[in-house]
Amino acid sequence: MHLQNVHARYPTAHRGLAGALNSISFTVAKGEFRWLTGASGAGKSTLLAVLGLSLRPTSGQMDILGVEPARAKRSQLTRLRRRIGTIHQDYRLLEQLTALENVALPLRLAGTDPRLIARESCDILAWLGLAGRENAYPDQLSGGECQRVAIARALVVRPDILLADEPTNALEETESRRLLGLFQEICGHGTTVIVATHNETLLRDFPAPSIEIAQGRVAGGTAPLP
């Protein structure tokens, strides 16, 4: 993915206020991992919303998986969105669906063979320690369980890009480490992974290049590891 001078602001922002993102430029190659760091309110979630195609930049150029979203047709954008998995900070599970149905939803939307849907969804839930919780509704799950369902839903489609916003904030330390191990593994299979975090322990224990955001701008970051 490549961003060049991307600006974005929320439609609700008052005229005259500074944009939420200002002149963001960076490149992340296929299969690379990036931490996204920065203080609260810096613009990390906003940047993930832009990368996940839920917030349109007001200006600038963007290339996501070889597609320029600003020039893409609606059908092309729909296909592109399906190649991007997002783990939202607030999980965004559908309350009227069970854990299993939430995870199965993106596979259904992608037209996956129904025989595969249940198996793949159950497998990923089991990997995340949720075997036996498949039929629970979000309001019957703990915060950590909801977070794991949201992780499962993002991963089940085997996305080409994974965007994760504080994906470990409701997880135990062991679970967090296991998840980071999985993220690194899927990078090895070609998925580009971007993870926003404040978790200093994870940043220390899983050294990787980072993009640092401050006040809506790229304020720094570390060079890619050799």
Ligand X SMILES: Nc1ncnc2c1ncn2[C@@H]1O[C@H](COP(=O)(O)OP(=O)(O)OP(=O)(O)O)[C@@H](O)[C@H]1O
In the bound complex, what is the minimum distance in angstroms from residue 219's beta carbon to ligand X? Answer: 12
Q: Which is nearer to ligand X, 19 or 69 (CB)?
A: 19
C-alpha to C-alpha distance for 49 and 184, rounded to whole angstroms: 22
User: Sheet holding 217-221: strands in order across?
Assistant: 84-87, 161-165, 192-196, 33-37, 210-214, 217-221
In the bound complex, what is the minimum distance in angstroms from residue 215's beta carbon to ligand X? Answer: 9
In the bound complex, what is the minimum distance in angstroms from residue 185's beta carbon to ligand X? Answer: 26
| Token reading at 90 | 């607030």
Positive or negative CA dihedral for 39, 41, 46, 48? Answer: positive
In the bound complex, what is the minimum distance in angstroms from residue 123's beta carbon to ligand X? Answer: 31
Q: Which is nearer to ligand X, 113 or 200 (CB)?
A: 200
Q: Which is nearer to ligand X, 107 or 218 (CB)?
A: 218
C-alpha to C-alpha distance for 92 and 114, rounded to whole angstroms: 24
Q: Which chain residues interact with ligand X by CB under 6 A?
A: 10, 12-13, 20, 38, 40-46, 89
Q: Do residues 194 and 163 lie in contact, with contact meaning Cβ atoms separated by under 8 Å?
A: yes
Q: Which is nearer to ligand X, 58 or 112 (CB)?
A: 58
